[in-house]
Structure 1
Amino acid sequence: DDAGGHVNNSLGYHYHGDTGMTTRIEQSDGHSAMIGYALDGYGLYAKLDDEDNEATELDECRGHTDDTRGYHYHVLSLESNEFLDCFYGAWAE
């Protein structure tokens, strides 16, 4: 749909990318806006910050740590058809 999501029988409604149409929690320090939480409980943040820069030094799961947010992810672009490459933390199916 226009928000980058759809429904399937096993996962229910879920997103495949950040279109900017979901709720965003802007960060007072210019960091990328928070857009949700991953299945492992870590925060999901938009790909680009307030100045349209992408976060640097991301790990293989597109995450990193800062003093304000702790460990968190930065999502992939909508064209990739996924938010993340992998999960840093554990999650139950």
Structure 2
Amino acid sequence: MRTMLFIALSLLASYSMAGVEIRQSYWYVELSCEGNPQCYAASNGSYTSNQSAARRFDDANKAQRFVDSFTSSISGKSPRIVQGADSKCVSDDEARRLNLSGNRC
């Protein structure tokens, strides 16, 4: 009896935690840095070799405004706006509200 109850509660809990996996776009600025194959803008005057430390934007226009604000030392590194995407799990309710679909997570 306890085993059946535990299984039922486990299934219910796992279903309530399930959701929909969505892809969320973001934009960042890639640079050409001498001696460093991976180079990204971290601020309008500094850069990093770590992509996760690069400044991210939720829209390409914001990324362009960021590029337009670069100091001469950064703007001389051939900035390119690049689109990336992350996977994110949202609840079923949120997915329905926003009319999103995707794989279960």
TM-score (norm 1): 0.24
Larger-Rg structure: 2
More helix by proportion, 1 or 2?
A: 2
